[in-house]
Amino acid sequence: MNDTPIRRSVHAYFMQRALELAGRGWYTTRPNPRVGCVLVKDEAIIGEGWHERAGEPHAERAALADLERRGGSARGATAYVTLEPCSHTGRTPPCVDALIEADIARVVVGTQDPNPRVDGQGVARLRAAGIDVVTGVLAERCAQINAGFNQRMRQGRPRVRVKLAMSLDGRTAAANGESQWITGDTARDDVHRLRAESGAVMIGRGTLVADDPSLSVRLAGEWPQPLRVVLDSHLEISPSAKLLGLPGDTLVFTASGDRTRIQALQAAGARIEQVGTRGAGLDLAAVMALLGEREINDVLVEAGPTLAGALAQAGLVDEYMIYMAPTLLGDGGRSLLKLPGVQTLADARQLVVDAIEPVGADWRIRARPKRSEDEGD
């Protein structure tokens, strides 16, 4: 059948199902992308699969295994895949080989894989094998579910999301410094889910001293724990900090070469990474590049106004997750971000608000820095 509106609607229908399957690996696939696959023959689904975690079968092979359990055949079927099938051997064999061997007739792809080891090569190999390939079906949705992975592949650094909690008048703490808790239980649970889907959670030394946080996911059931990242230019973190005594890894970035302090923190369980400085603090771009090398797709920053502002000034914030409580703290409270370069309205940093949603008694605002491509918004 030609590429008619009806056929495009059929493709979108089955790709939407593949997206739903990809979402089942939302918290578990990192550092790999989230991928879903649906096998269809005679307009009926004959096999389904999704990638669950790194080192385990990719979505295409999982769908073929599901088809085999059902006793069906893939010959002449169509595979709907949210991400271009891989064409290289990584933790698992190439998925294009499995699709070719199964005698699939058509592969419908949501979005191209930006991984340089794939990046169009999967589609090329399928077409070279005589398989009809359709691309770009629900492409924007398919790309969005892997925003962090895509950015790391293209830019060499993770997606950076800054989480902020504030009163209705934009304060993050009362005049006496008290900040726990501005928002309610539902909003805090939502933040724990953000932690679970992130490869790393980052704070500065100021937040560590003020709150002594654990940065762990504390929700009922089994949840993946992120890498805990602390930025501490002079390595003043105490070896008795709460997060050093918890299961999982803590990575401390510092400009200090103090061997005594380094050894004490290493003995307490921390990993130390030395980076250079830029301005009054660490070189934040270098920090993000190093996290990208560690295959971190998403960094959730839960910092105070100093680090949040520094990241904004460095152009390293990709998204703000702002939780707003229906309370007023007055002009004596602590501000949301430190942006010393903003003196006039012309200096203001413009944002694009993508969503405002109720979270219990609070509101969650999802926004991103306005880029040149957003001028029409």
List % helix, strand, coil for the chain (3-state, nearest 5): 30, 25, 45
Q: Which residues pair with 243 in a beta bridge?
A: none
Which runs of consecutive H residues, i.e. helices, occur in the chain?
5-22, 59-70, 95-101, 121-128, 139-144, 147-155, 185-196, 205-211, 259-267, 284-293, 305-313
Amino acid code (one letter) for 299: V
**Tokens representing residue 83 in the block:** 């991400």
- Write down the catalytic residue from 43, 52, 60, 236: 60
Cβ-proximal residues to 13 (8 Å cutoff; 6+ apart), any chain = none
CA 203 – CA 201 distance, rounded (Å):
7
DSSP string, 262-300: HHHHHHTTEEEEE--EETTEE-HHHHHHHHHHTT--EEE
Q: Could you tell me if 316 and 285 are in contact, meaning their C-beta atoms sit under 8 angstroms apart?
A: yes
**Tokens representing residue 168 in the block:** 């209705």
Does 60 participate in catalysis according to the annotation? yes
Peptide bond into 5 cis (omega under 30): no
Which strands form 227-231's sheet, in the order they lie side by side? Answer: 270-274, 250-254, 227-231, 200-204, 298-301, 159-167, 319-325, 362-369, 351-359
Q: Could you tell me if 365 and 354 are in contact, meaning their C-beta atoms sit under 8 angstroms apart?
A: no
Task: Just list the catalytic residues.
Answer: 60
